[in-house]
């Protein structure tokens, strides 16, 4: 069956998933593009449906081996007009999927891990996606985010993770201060970024530690800073006082892994 009307109920449902409230209500999100579909299949994401543009010129670029895998799922074919209506991409590849969101619970935090990343109210979707991708490059299995942090299932975040969203467990904390107190009970050192400190990122031991990155404009909240074991900052030799949140996260995470011998 080919869907040619924007008024089709399935199309209306897909369109709704562009909004956070509906993603939360239906516990679903959208991924788009050949690479993201491949990643979803390879990482055993819970794919509910795959939407394919029947007459988009770029659809022919989908590899035959991927089409074979796609055929194992519920496939929905739509016209180019309909696909253009539901896509967020300027030059779409003619394929997207509806994915079921994983369950989230604060009890899911694995305190046995050696390194932790905590995000306190990160707002920019681009930063969020880049941070997830960086964490994935270092084989992080989980990150912890405050409840006010940007939605990781925002289409822009999903695209910029380049598949990392399927490999990293994101735990949303409803009370970050309480979560950090619990981390300290498990003997985890908590390092929060703060421009007002004299302590450098090169002055601390990252074994069994958590790094807290704060909001782009205001940094780590005072409540969280007060719970930190140590406040740290990236030393600057130029006139710029701070780095973009995603860049700062990359610098600190790579130093943490270098200093503990996880990368050379």
Specify if 94 maps to a domain: yes
Distances (CA, A) of 177 to 24, 132, 186: 24, 22, 15
Domain shared by 112 and 173, yes or no: yes
Mean pLDDT of the chain: 93
Residue among 61, 70, 76 at smallest CA distance from 41: 70
Q: Taking the CA atoms of 21, 24, 28 and 34 in sequence, report the sign of the dihedral they define.
A: positive
Domain shared by 93 and 110, yes or no: no
Residue at a domain's end among 44, 76, 100:
100
Contacts 24+ apart (CB under 8 A), 8-11: 8/82, 10/49, 10/76, 11/78, 11/82, 11/85, 11/86
Q: Strands 28-32 and 95-100: what pairing?
A: antiparallel
Domain shared by 243 and 212, yes or no: yes
- The mean-pLDDT minimum among 36-45, 68-77, 177-186, 255-264 falls in 255-264
Is the separation of the CB atoms in 167 and 203 below 8 Å? no
Q: How many residues comprise the chain? A: 264
Q: Does 237 score more than 90 pLDDT?
A: no
Distances (CA, A) of 125 to 85, 115, 133, 159, 231: 22, 23, 12, 10, 25
Specify if 206 maps to a domain: yes
Please tell me the predicted confidence (pLDDT) of residue 242.
80
Specify if 168 maps to a domain: yes
Coil, helix or strand at residue 81: helix
Residue at a domain's end among 100, 135, 152:
100
Question: Per-residue confidence at 105, pLDDT binned at 50, 70, 90?
Answer: low
Is the separation of the CB atoms in 128 and 213 below 8 Å? no
Specify if 152 maps to a domain: yes
Tokens found for residue 54: 């029947």
User: Which positions ≥6 away from 3 have C-beta within 8 Å?
Assistant: 10, 11, 76, 77, 78, 79, 82
More confident residue, 106 or 259: 259
Specify if 264 maps to a domain: no
Domain shared by 223 and 115, yes or no: yes
Domain shared by 31 and 82, yes or no: yes
The boundaries of the domain holding residue 47 are 2-100
Domain shared by 96 and 145, yes or no: no
Domain shared by 148 and 166, yes or no: yes
Taking only the tens place, the pLDDT of each residue in 6-18 is 999 999 999 999 9
Is the separation of the CB atoms in 233 and 200 below 8 Å? yes
Domain shared by 9 and 115, yes or no: no
Q: Strands 28-32 and 47-53: what pairing?
A: unpaired
Residue among 213, 197, 195 at smallest CA distance from 249: 213
Q: Does 69 score more than 70 pLDDT?
A: yes
CATH, residue 176: 3.40.1280.10
What's the domain count of the chain?
Answer: 2
Domain shared by 219 and 164, yes or no: yes
What does DSSP assign to residue 114?
Answer: S
Please tell me the predicted confidence (pLDDT) of residue 243.
86
Quote the CA–CA distance of 25 and 168 in Å, as a whole number: 22
Residue among 170, 166, 163, 169 at smallest CA distance from 33: 163
Residue at a domain's end among 70, 100, 130:
100
Domain shared by 119 and 69, yes or no: no
Domain shared by 13 and 141, yes or no: no
The pTM of this model reads 0.90
Quote the CA–CA distance of 124 and 225 in Å, as a whole number: 21
Quote the CA–CA distance of 262 and 138 in Å, as a whole number: 9
CATH, residue 96: 3.30.1330.30
Domain shared by 128 and 243, yes or no: yes
What does residue 53 show for φ and ψ, rounded to 5 degrees? Answer: -75, 125
Quote the CA–CA distance of 127 and 73 in Å, as a whole number: 32
Specify if 212 maps to a domain: yes
Tokens found for residue 43: 């990482």
């Amino acid at each position: 069956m080919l869907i040619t009307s924007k008024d089709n109920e399935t199309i209306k449902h897909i369109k709704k998933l562009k909004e956070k409230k509906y993603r939360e209500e239906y516990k679903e999100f959208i991924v788009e593009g050949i690479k993201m579909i491949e990643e979803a299949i390879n990482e055993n994401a819970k794919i509910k449906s795959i939407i394919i543009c029947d007459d988009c010129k770029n659809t022919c670029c989908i590899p035959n081996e991927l089409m074979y895998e796609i055929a194992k799922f519920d496939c929905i074919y739509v016209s180019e007009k309909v696909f253009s209506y539901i896509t967020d991409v300027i030059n779409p590849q003619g394929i997207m999927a509806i994915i079921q969101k994983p369950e989230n619970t604060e009890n899911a935090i694995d305190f046995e891990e050696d390194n932790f990343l905590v995000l306190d109210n990160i707002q920019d979707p681009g930063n969020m996606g880049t941070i997830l991708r960086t964490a994935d490059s270092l084989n992080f299995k989980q990150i912890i985010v405050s409840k006010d942090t940007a939605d990781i299932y925002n289409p822009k975040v999903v695209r910029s993770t380049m598949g990392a969203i399927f490999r990293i467990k994101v735990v949303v904390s409803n009370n970050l201060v309480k979560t950090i107190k619990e981390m300290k009970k498990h003997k985890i050192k908590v390092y929060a970024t703060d421009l007002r400190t004299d302590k450098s990122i090169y002055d601390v031991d990252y074994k069994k530690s958590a790094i807290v990155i704060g909001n782009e404009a205001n940094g780590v909240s005072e409540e969280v800073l007060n719970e930190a074991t140590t406040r740290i900052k990236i030393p600057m030799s130029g006139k710029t006082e701070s780095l973009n949140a995603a860049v700062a996260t990359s610098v600190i995470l790579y130093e943490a892994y270098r200093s503990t011998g996880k990368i050379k």
